[in-house]
């Protein structure tokens, strides 16, 4: 079992939502955090909150789509604390829309998901994760660190209508732990650096609270526990996977019993 106390977490999207909840969980349990976010305002607020809890915190303003930003983030963690034990690349966005939308009266397509909306989600949710994880993994190996790379997939990885961009990136997140674990196994590293993913359903963060209220009500009607998952519940799951070194190479769902129907 690993102990969060004294360990170092690098968290992207750490300024808000689930990323911030993980940072708080780490600090509450004696861990140190390096939080990165594209929003300097969110970072400042998160830093103040975590320091008020007595946390050791470093902030890095960073756009995860930029290779040099991700390298700077990983370097900042090593410079400040000498190690990286948890990598949580939780920066992510949604840009929902049907791939093609036929007009209800004419039956002809009147709207399409734009290439820009498709690419932006792929850049942040997929390429951004690859860059964050690659840069942090390099430093973890070179500095002989022990720990976990914990990606974030989603129930959207099963295929949600209106999210061809998002669902595709989240399906990618569910295969990456297998690839990374297999690569580390080949190199004799898998007992020291594990990779896994959590796959939340609908979590009560800005990403979901900003959704169309009617759509959200429809979704909640299908959630057996009858409510959104709390960010703290996802953060606790990440902490539990970190501590339990038998958990590796897989995806751990946390969705209150939600099942998608054939209309996604
Ligand atoms: N909220 C949910 O229901 C839910 C469900 C499943 C998976 N997830 C995943 O969890 C992760 C966090 O989601 P959340 O709900 O906390 O969202 P959120 O919007 O509350 O937080 C995301 C954070 O990422 C930051 N960010 C966005 N683009 C960035 C970039 N290019 N570089 C750096 N930072 C950037 C934002 O500023 C924000 O602080 C996402 O990957 C999301 O897909 C969320």
Q: Which of 41, 14, 22, 17 is nearest to 208 (CA)?
A: 17
Q: Which of 191, 193, 197 is nearest to 178 (CA)?
A: 197
Radius of gyration from C-alpha coordinates of the chain = 18
- Count the residues in the chain: 264
- pLDDT at position 211 is 80
- Is the minimum distance from the CB of 256 to ligand 1 under 6 angstroms? no
- Is the minimum distance from the CB of 238 to ligand 1 under 6 angstroms? no
Neighbours of 252 (CB within 10 A): 17
- pLDDT at position 240 is 98
Give 150 Cα–ligand 1 centroid separation in angstroms: 14
Is residue 62 within 8 Å of 36, Cβ to Cβ? yes
φ/ψ of residue 229, rounded to 5: -75, 140
CATH class of 8-96+122-251: alpha beta
3-class SS string, the chain? CCCCCCCEEEEECCCCHHHHHHHHHHHHCCCEEEEEECCHHHHHHHHHHHHHCCCCEEEEECCCCCHHHHHHHHHHHHHHHCCCCEEEECCCCCCCECCEEECCCCCCEEEECCHHHHHHHHHHHHHHHHHHHHHHHHHHHHCCCCEEEEEECCHHHHCCCCEHHHHHHHHHHHHHHHHHHHHHHHCCCCCCEEEEEEEECCECCHHHHCCCHHHHHHHHCCCCCCCCECHHHHHHHHHHHHHCCCCCCCEEEECCCCCCCCCC
Give 122 Cα–ligand 1 centroid separation in angstroms: 13
Rounded CA gap, 171 and 178, in Å?
A: 12
Atom of ligand 1 nearest to the CA of 37: 34
pTM: 0.98
Virtual CA dihedral for 229, 94, 71, 84, nearest 10 degrees?
A: 10
Rounded CA gap, 14 and 37, in Å?
A: 6
- Is the minimum distance from the CB of 223 to ligand 1 under 6 angstroms? no
How do the pLDDT tens digits run along the chain, 264 residues long? 999 999 999 999 999 999 999 999 999 999 999 999 999 999 999 999 999 999 999 999 999 999 999 999 999 999 999 999 999 999 999 999 999 999 999 999 999 999 999 999 999 999 999 999 999 999 999 999 999 999 999 999 999 999 999 999 999 999 999 999 999 999 999 999 999 999 999 999 998 888 888 888 988 999 999 999 999 999 999 999 999 999 999 999 999 999 999 998
- Is the minimum distance from the CB of 90 to ligand 1 under 6 angstroms? yes
Taking CA atoms, 89 is separated from 9, 64, 97, 256, in Å, by 10, 9, 24, 23
Among 15, 123, 205, residue to substitute to test ligand 1 (most atoms within 8 Å of Cβ): 205
- pLDDT at position 185 is 98
- pLDDT at position 209 is 84
- Domain extents in the chain: 8-96+122-251
Is residue 86 within 8 Å of 77, Cβ to Cβ? no
- Is the minimum distance from the CB of 203 to ligand 1 under 6 angstroms? yes
Is residue 254 within 8 Å of 152, Cβ to Cβ? no
């Amino acid at each position: 079992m690993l102990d969060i106390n004294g360990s170092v977490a690098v968290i992207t999207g750490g300024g808000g939502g689930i990323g911030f909840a993980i940072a708080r969980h780490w600090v509450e349990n004696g861990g140190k955090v390096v939080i990165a976010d594209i929003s300097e305002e969110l970072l400042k607020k998160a830093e103040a909150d975590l320091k008020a809890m007595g946390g050791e915190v470093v902030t890095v303003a960073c756009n995860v789509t930029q290779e040099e930003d991700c390298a700077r983030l990983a370097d900042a963690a090593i410079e400040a604390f000498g190690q990286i034990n948890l990598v949580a690349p939780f920066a992510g966005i949604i840009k929902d829309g049907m791939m093609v939308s036929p007009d209800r009266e004419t039956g002809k397509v009147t709207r399409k998901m734009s290439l820009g909306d498709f690419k932006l989600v792929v850049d942040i949710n997929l390429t951004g994760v690859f860059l964050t994880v690659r840069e942090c993994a390099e430093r973890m190996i070179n500095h002989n660190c022990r720990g976990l790379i914990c990606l974030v997939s989603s129930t959207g990885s099963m295929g949600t209508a209106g999210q061809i961009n998002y669902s595709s990136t989240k399906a990618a997140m569910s295969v990456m732990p297998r690839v990374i674990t297999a690569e580390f196994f080949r190199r004799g590293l898998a007992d020291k650096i594990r990779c896994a993913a959590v796959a939340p359903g609908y979590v009560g963060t800005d990403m979901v609270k900003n959704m169309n209220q009617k759509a959200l009500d429809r979704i909640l009607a299908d959630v057996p526990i009858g409510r959104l998952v709390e960010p703290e519940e996802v953060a606790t799951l990440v902490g539990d996977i970190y501590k339990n070194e038998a958990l590796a190479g897989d995806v751990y769902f946390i969705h209150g019993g939600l099942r998608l129907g054939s209309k996604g």
